[in-house]
Amino acid sequence: MTSAIAARGLSKNYGPVKAVVNVDLEVRRGEIYGFLGRNGAGKTTTIRMLLGLVRPSAGEISILGSTLGEDRAGVLARVGYFVESAAAYPNLTVRENLHIQRRLTRAPATSVDAVIELLKLGEYADRRAGRLSLGNKQRLSLARALVHSPELLILDEPSNGLDPAGIIEIRALLRGLADEQGVTIFMSSHLLDEVEHLADRVGIVHAGSLVEEVDYRELRDNGRLSIEIEVDDVALAERVLRDQLGFVGLSRSGEASLRVTDRTAKAASIARALVGAGIALERLVPMEEDLERHFMRVTGGES
Amino acid sequence: MRFPSVVATELAKLRRSKVTWISLAAYTFMVAMAGFFMWMMMNPGMAERIGLLGQKAKFAFGGESLDWPTFLTFIVEMGGIGGLIMCSIIVAYVFGREYAEGTAKNMLALPIARNRFVFAKIIVSAVWLAVLTLWIIGEACLVGWVLGLHGLTKALFLSASAKLIVLAVMSLCCAVLVAWVAVETRGYFAPLGVAIFTLALASAFGHTGWAPWVPWSIIGIYSGAAGPEANLGWGSFVVIAATFLIGTVLIVRHEVHADNGQ
């Protein structure tokens, strides 16, 4: 089966500013892909390129098996999206805004009521969009993205402006769309918590580059264990761990400390080996790396 | 996607828009003011007594015959310059609002050829302007009748109406450049500034030999605001048509090819 999104060598320059640099991206069908990065990392520019709103300086984009440049209308008819901030025609009601989207995407008339119910907008259906709270505007934008039952959802910061209950509802809605209807979801976020709760895979973007793609379940299950060790003789400890235990993932994390990132490392065997070599072991702390620590590490800001 | 559906959705976007009512109010006020001036000319004594007409203004009004031809000449002149301003405001709103309200990114990522939105917006602006033109024709008839003016003939009515319609078409042709400024600068303010600048341009060239070749001055000449002796050749109409074509190509080029990164 072809990927839902495949981008190769995607770059975007604004004059001398490199907004996106040589991004290779692959989103599998039916998965929720979290596109994680700090503000200004290049997430929105990448999303705009995926939707054809911004022309890449280099690279190719394939959406649902078709090249975006060759069959723009055909591809976008199968994609629901919202970019950057909730936006709607303020003088029109929620229902009228959705009917505009429905007509332009040739969705059936019943789809408007269906998404109003799905996004719990019934109470506000006849209220003008300009008078909605930020959270309800966000719901309206999500409803607009869903009105034509897309196969792929491209969402830029979908929980912006939502209250905690709203975030949980939207999270459940997106999970349900992926699990029950096989909708592929590509969502950008700078909120680790949001991605942590929802994404199957995570792409971490930093300074315009995709620095890592990780299977979040794998990250969660393996925990990417690291062990922090404080000893009186770092050089000797390093030699012992390399020679006796065969560790490769070993680095100095301070004047008297070492970090073991080798996946086979066990705290007990490290302690035995170091004490056996006559090294004074001051501290030995197994550290589980969650997404937050992982993100900070790969984006160069140690937590 | 069928083009009529795109036009229908563009029309639907105008529902409950304040700008539609403001434009209608402005046109209503414009005709009412023309009627008011006529009334002052017809009743200079009363106007002077209640302080509406000074001695200087009385001289300015001197020599005008107080009948339908004079009134309709007023209306056509106002329809020329006023129509150009109003048309600029309309297209600045129709095109600029998508950027000002943040909906452009939604619209441009729809599975519809983007040039269709451009043409649909031009059609909607034309429909809007047509309604306003019909409105001022109707209101002028009402005001003239209330004032009890004389000299209305079918030929005069048709001639004035035709002039107003042609002026509306010319205004739209020129305003397309304002629409291009709206999409290029992504909002309302710059196009409104350009609209004011074009009026200054029309005024600056209005009494020079260049006037028949400057699109905005051409509207002034055709409306009679530049004086009754001014005439237009076919070249001026070609200039107006060329302005429309250039403006439309520039908007389509922007919407189809430009980055919508903001």
Strands A66-67 and A209-215: unpaired
Mutant choice from A96, A100, A146 vs B, greatest count of B C-beta within 10 A: A100
Q: What is the CA radius of gyration of chain B?
A: 20
Whether residues A231 and A278 share a domain: the answer is: yes
Whether residues A197 and A254 share a domain: the answer is: no
Strand partners, A27: A5
> Has residue A298 been placed in a domain?
no
At A42-73, the pLDDT tens digits run 999 999 999 999 999 999 999 999 998 888 89
Domain boundary among A189, A220, A251: A220
Whether residues A182 and A263 share a domain: the answer is: no
Whether residues A196 and A235 share a domain: the answer is: no
Whether B176 shows a pLDDT value over 70: the answer reads yes
Instruction: For chain A, say whether B16 makes contact (Cβ under 8 Å).
Output: yes
- Picking from B8, B229, B14, the residue whose alpha carbon sits closest to that of residue A90 is B14
Return the residue matching tokens 């400057």.
Answer: B214
The DSSP result for B149-195, as a single string, is: -----HHHHHHHHHHHHHHHHHHHHHHHHHHHHHHHHTSSHHHHHHH
Q: Which residues of B touch A52 (CB under 8 A)?
A: 108-109
Whether residues A247 and A160 share a domain: the answer is: no
> Has residue A294 been placed in a domain?
no
Q: State residue A204 phi and psi, 5-degree precision.
A: -105, 120
**Which residues make Cβ contacts (< 8 Å) with residue B14, sequence separation at least 6?**
B20, B124, B128
Are A91 and B108 within 8 A, CB to CB?
no
At A163-213, the pLDDT tens digits run 888 888 889 999 999 999 999 999 998 888 888 888 999 999 999 999 888
Are B111 and A72 within 8 A, CB to CB?
yes
Are B111 and A52 within 8 A, CB to CB?
no
Whether residues A214 and A231 share a domain: the answer is: no
Whether residues A213 and A229 share a domain: the answer is: no
Whether residues A248 and A194 share a domain: the answer is: no
| Tally of residues, chain B | 262
Tokens read off for B185: 């600068």
Return the residue matching tokens 């315009």.
Answer: A208
> Has residue A54 been placed in a domain?
yes
Strands A209-215 and A226-231: unpaired
Are A89 and B102 within 8 A, CB to CB?
no
Whether residues A116 and A240 share a domain: the answer is: no
Are B5 and A89 within 8 A, CB to CB?
no
> Has residue A302 been placed in a domain?
no
Nearest to A104 among B9, B257, B260 (CB): B9
Strands A201-206 and A32-37: parallel
**Cα angle vertex A56, ends A52, A57, to 5°?**
160
Average pLDDT of chain B?
A: 89
Are A73 and B9 within 8 A, CB to CB?
no
Instruction: For chain B, say whether A72 makes contact (Cβ under 8 Å).
Output: yes
- A178 CA: distance to closest CA in chain B (Å): 22
> Has residue A252 been placed in a domain?
yes
At A199-237, the pLDDT tens digits run 999 999 999 999 888 887 776 666 656 788 999 999 999
> Has residue A300 been placed in a domain?
no
Number of domains making up chain A: 2
Q: Are the C-beta atoms of A298 and A211 separated by less than 8 Å?
A: yes
pLDDT score for A303:
45
Q: Which residues of A touch B262 (CB under 8 A)?
A: none
Using alpha carbons, list the distances in angstroms from residue A284 to A268, A274, A278, A293, B41. Answer: 10, 11, 16, 19, 101
How large a percentage of chain B has pLDDT more than 90?
Answer: 67
Average pLDDT of chain A?
A: 89
pLDDT score for B257:
87
Nearest-CA residue of chain A relative to B113?
A73
Q: Which of B36-50, B128-142, B149-163 has the lowest mean pLDDT?
A: B36-50
- B187 CA: distance to closest CA in chain A (Å): 15
> Has residue A180 been placed in a domain?
yes
Whether residues A240 and A193 share a domain: the answer is: no
Q: Amino acid identity, residue B23?
A: S
Half-sphere exposure of B177 (CA within 13 A, CB side): 20
Mutant choice from B3, B105, B121 vs A, greatest count of A C-beta within 10 A: B105
Size of interface A-B (CB pairs under 8 A): 78
Nearest to A55 among B16, B112, B259 (CB): B259
- A201 CA: distance to closest CA in chain B (Å): 25
At A111-160, the pLDDT tens digits run 999 999 999 999 999 999 999 998 899 999 999 999 999 999 999 988 88
Helix/strand/coil (H/E/C) assignment for every residue in B61-99? HCCCCCCHHHHHHHHHHHHHHHHHHHHHHHHHHHHHHHH
- A142 CA: distance to closest CA in chain B (Å): 12
Local structure of A19: helix, strand or coil: strand
Q: Which residues of B touch A91 (CB under 8 A)?
A: 15-18
At A79-122, the pLDDT tens digits run 999 888 888 999 999 999 999 999 999 999 999 999 999 999 99
For chain A, the distance separating the N- and C-terminal CA atoms, rounded to the nearest angstrom, is 39
Nearest to A92 among B13, B260, B261 (CB): B13
**Which residues make Cβ contacts (< 8 Å) with residue A163, sequence separation at least 6?**
A135
- A224 CA: distance to closest CA in chain B (Å): 37
Distance CA A167, CA A163 (A): 6
pLDDT score for B1:
63
Tokens read off for A152: 């792929």
Using alpha carbons, list the distances in angstroms from residue A104 to A98, A183, B3, B9, B148. Answer: 10, 21, 10, 8, 51
Are B13 and A100 within 8 A, CB to CB?
yes
Distance CA B189, CA B194 (A): 9
Nearest to A54 among B1, B12, B259 (CB): B259
Are B261 and A82 within 8 A, CB to CB?
no
Domain boundary among A179, A202, A220: A220
The CATH number that applies at residue A43 is 3.40.50.300
Whether residues A230 and A126 share a domain: the answer is: no
Local structure of B55: helix, strand or coil: helix
Whether B62 shows a pLDDT value over 60: the answer reads no
Are B261 and A91 within 8 A, CB to CB?
no
ipTM entry: 0.86
- B247 CA: distance to closest CA in chain A (Å): 22
> Has residue A293 been placed in a domain?
no
The CATH number that applies at residue A246 is 3.30.70
Q: Are the C-beta atoms of A148 and A76 separated by less than 8 Å?
A: no
| Residue A33 belongs to domain spanning | 5-220
Whether residues A135 and A167 share a domain: the answer is: yes
Nearest-CA residue of chain B relative to A52?
B109
